[in-house]
Amino acid sequence: MDFTAEEIIFWAAVLLLVSIFGSKAAGKVGIPAILLFLLVGMLTGSDGPGGIPFDDPWVVQFLGVISLIYILFSGAFNTKKENIAPVFWSGVTLSTLGVLLTAVIVAIITSQIFHISLLGSLLLGSIISATDAAAVFSILRSRRMGLKRNLRPLLEFESGSNDPMSVILSVGIIEMITSPGLSWHRLIGSFFQQMLIGVLVGYAMGRLMVYVVNKVELEYEGLYPVLIMGLILFAYGAAFFTNGSGFLAVYIAGLIMGNNVIRHREILSNFYEGIAWLLQIVMFIVFGLQVFPSQLPPIIWAGILIAVITIFIARPIAVYLSLLFSKMSFKEKTMVSWVGLRGATPIILATFPILENVPKADIMFNVVFITVIASIVIQAPFIPLVAKWLGVDTHLHESAHSGETSHD
């Protein structure tokens, strides 16, 4: 099916407008916006009424990585260090040990239930092990509710910083599947190397961004967001080419820049919030396009079962063990466990096995897609109810006066 440039522009506008106005209506009935974006993509794709032929995992991966880069930066830029400081070590533990424990627990259970190899189940567990920044940011920052104490900063910090662990685990296990003989020692060493380099590159690039915005005089004010856009991509690339974590570098750079005195703050904040939403819409629509609904029925129950295992077994155990020495109450830890939303990151990582020709990678992609949808449907709509049931919710005006949490 061939489209003219005018037809592409027109239908792109239609999809964008439907997604935006549809998300407003969906929010009133408790349906997460990202789920709507996914459904729009599925309905537009080859198996849907739209009939647009699309099957390109490389494009999905590329677009997903670019989108996550700016979503992470925008979230970090608007996060204050005074909110992160009290939850820093808890967030780091959740982002590392929590991700590892989730992956291992999911792997152990799924290998027994579905009778698949340990490496194959570990790959699946690693792909779905990280909570998703796009999902957590959009849901926590769009709902007219608050969370007591430091719950929201912890959840946002975890979701923004745990992608590297999931990526390293997934890539490392893919290498072990495709190149038998690689040792676990290499995987462990790679993790510490990527985290360290990611932090160093992110800090250096964050300081550079602050200097550039404050010292470089551009003729047009509107060029500053574009300049920073280039530096964000450079930060990701610099970390990647020095064997560091690009996602972590971008997140750290956003934190550094957002917590310094800079010119044009309001312009930059509004610009990147808009960019993050645009890319989130496009990203999830493309994810939906990549899925063929006709292929889902044979594995739909497997995907739902894995989501249930992740939500009610793996995630709670990982959270309780990771926060074992934390001063947080049991109810607060339970709330952290419940907001373990899966979203863009698992779907992006699910394209890696396809591009590396891992056996049955197409089936794994569909399973992950169903798991993500199930996670969003089961968890997201009930976040306010769970918070109220646990007694950790608070009204916006109360939290604003008490300083227990921050809100947009």
What pLDDT, in 10s, does the model give residues 293-303?
888 889 999 99
Per-residue model confidence (pLDDT) at position 341: 87
Residue 226 has pLDDT above 70, yes or no: yes
Q: In 10 A of CB 298, how many CB atoms?
A: 10
More confident site: 401 or 332: 332
Report yes or no on 356 lying in a domain: yes
The CATH number linked to 98 is: 1.20.1530.20
Give pLDDT tens digits for 54-103: 889 999 999 989 998 998 898 889 888 888 889 999 999 999 999 999 99
Report yes or no on 112 lying in a domain: yes
> Domain of 264?
56-402
Judge whether 311 and 340 are in contact, CB under 8 Å.
yes
Residue 204 has pLDDT above 90, yes or no: yes
Please give the structure tokens belonging to residue 263: 């010119």
Per-residue model confidence (pLDDT) at position 408: 35
Per-residue model confidence (pLDDT) at position 384: 84
Per-residue model confidence (pLDDT) at position 27: 64
Provide the domain count of the chain: 1
Please state the rounded mean pLDDT for residues 321-347: 91
Please state the rounded mean pLDDT for residues 125-147: 76
Please state the rounded mean pLDDT for residues 114-123: 90
Report yes or no on 144 lying in a domain: yes
Work out the pLDDT band at 26, boundaries 50, 70, 90: low
Report yes or no on 35 lying in a domain: no
Angle, alpha carbons 150-163-114 (nearest 5°): 110
Least confident piece of the model among 15-29, 213-227, 320-334: 15-29
Residue 401 has pLDDT above 70, yes or no: no
Please state the rounded mean pLDDT for residues 277-291: 88
Report yes or no on 223 lying in a domain: yes
SS (H, E, C) the chain: CCCCHHHHHHHHHHHHHHHHHHHHHHHHCCCCHHHHHHHHHHHHCCCCCCCCCCCCHHHHHHHHHHHHHHHHHHHHHCCCHHHHHHHHHHHHHHHHHHHHHHHHHHHHHHHHHHCCCHHHHHHHHHHCCCCCHHHHHHHHHHCCCEECCCHHHHHHHHHHHCHHHHHHHHHHHHHHHHCCCCCHHHHHHHHHHHHHHHHHHHHHHHHHHHHHHHHCCCCCCCHHHHHHHHHHHHHHHHHHHCCCCHHHHHHHHHHHHHCCCCCCHHHHHHHHHHHHHHHHHHHHHHHHHHCCHHHCHHHHHHHHHHHHHHHHHHHHHHHHHHCCCCCCCHHHHHHHHHCCCCCHHHHHHHHHHHHCCCCCHHHHHHHHHHHHHHHHHHHHHHHHHHHHHHCCEECHHHHHHHCCCCCC
Least confident piece of the model among 28-37, 316-325, 393-402: 393-402
Judge whether 321 and 97 are in contact, CB under 8 Å.
yes
Amino acid code (one letter) for 38: L
Report yes or no on 41 lying in a domain: no
Average pLDDT over the chain reads 86
Residue 179: partners with Cβ closer than 8 Å, 6 or more residues away: none
Per-residue model confidence (pLDDT) at position 156: 85
In percent, the amount of the chain with pLDDT more than 70 equals 91
Distance of CA 120 to the CA centre of its chain: 22
Residue 232 has pLDDT above 90, yes or no: yes
Report yes or no on 179 lying in a domain: yes
In percent, the amount of the chain with pLDDT more than 90 equals 42
Angstrom distance (rounded) from CA 170 to CA 3: 37
Please state the rounded mean pLDDT for residues 340-358: 89
Report yes or no on 40 lying in a domain: no
